[in-house]
Amino acid sequence: MEITRATAVVDSHTGGEPTRIIIGGGPWLKGKTMQERWKYLNTHLKDFRDFVMHEPRGHSDMFGAFLTPPEREDSHYGVLFMDSGEGVAMCGHGSIGTAYTLVELGMVPRTEPVTKVVLDTPAGQITLDVEYQDGKVGEVTLANVPAFVYATDVEIPLPSLGGKKVRLDISYGGNFFAIVKAEDLGFSLEREEAPELLRIGQEILQVINEQYPVAHPTEPHINYVGLVEFSLERDGAPTKNCVVFGESNVDRSPCGTGTCAKMALLASKGKLAPGEVFLHESIIGSVFKGYYKPGPKIGEFQTIYPFIKGRASITGFNFLVKQKDDEVGNGFLLPR
């Protein structure tokens, strides 16, 4: 058997959303900083991303975390996140899944009752506290990068709705999100609505990036809206959400960076106090717990320090290969 590519991965999920963690056999990444490596991944390594994310080894909703050497001396690893369409600067569920896996497999020094995992990402250094007691790994708390509201009450027309204008807020939680009230578009965020949420979400992404440029004040490489968050605030129940991103991804988890972006928006409107617990529910019913502390001003934006807690599980160990005569090569995706 002639093998032309081989990569070792650990598959996990956080709140139902997959994270395929690449632990060996990945290509060399040019760059000393995580931003440089991220750029190199996006511009030169599409074939590798397709190989680990696309069918038949993956699927359109697959998500990946590529472990690298750390950028900083006080970090354990660097990590580059990717979906089926591109690399992304930061991911909350992926960070939780990665930290859980590193502790479960003993890839970082373990301490009881909490093991601290420090990761470098293109969005900055992050810290995760992983519960570890009597050899068992529990919930993971992510201390994310500062989050802030970029713009509110932005209106964009949607051609598929006859030019009807949709109002949204743009908030940053490690990535830029367009946050839309689900009820404004007639959604109750049930599972059977996923195909239509995907369709409308992809259209919103296209229009918002054509009409409303964004840029992080200190991280200029983060300069587009990458995700749409349909949000449904409910009295006496967790806020429900569904996040659409990538080429055709519907998040199964409550979305970690989306939870941070939502908390920043609620804080700016006086709807969430520092330290108050925020429950965020996904389209499949999984829940993240979040809270925040006041953050510094970055440029013109008042930030918060967001924290989110979730649970992950390992689902498999895999050794992905490509034979020389494989007729589908690095893989494929079918339109949805």
Which among 255, 263, 265, 287 is annotated as catalytic? 255
Answer yes or no: 260 catalytic: no
User: 77-82 and 114-121 as β-strands: parallel, antiparallel, unpaired?
Assistant: parallel
User: Could you count the other beta carbons within 10 Å of the beta carbon of residue 4?
Assistant: 11
Encoding tokens for residue 271?
């709807």
What gap in Å lies between CA 91 and CA 258, rounded to an integer? 9
What gap in Å lies between CA 64 and CA 20, rounded to an integer? 4
Sequence-ordered list of residues with C-beta below 8 angstroms from that of 327, at least 6 positions apart, any chain: none
Alpha carbon 239 to its chain centroid, in Å, reads 18
Residue 28 gets which letter from DSSP? P
Cα dihedral angle (97, 101, 104, 105), rounded to 10 degrees?
180
Positive or negative, the CA dihedral 73, 128, 123, 245 is: positive
User: Using alpha carbons only, what angle is made at residue 266 by residues 263 and 267, rounded to the nearest 5 degrees?
Assistant: 85
User: Could you count the other beta carbons within 10 Å of the beta carbon of residue 165?
Assistant: 11
CB 185 within 8 A of CB 179: no
Which among 90, 91, 140, 197 is annotated as catalytic? 91
Sequence-ordered list of residues with C-beta below 8 angstroms from that of 187, at least 6 positions apart, any chain: 193, 196, 197, 230, 232, 242
The residue type of 172 is Y
The residue behind tokens 């032309």 is 4
Answer yes or no: 91 catalytic: yes
> What residues act catalytically?
91, 255
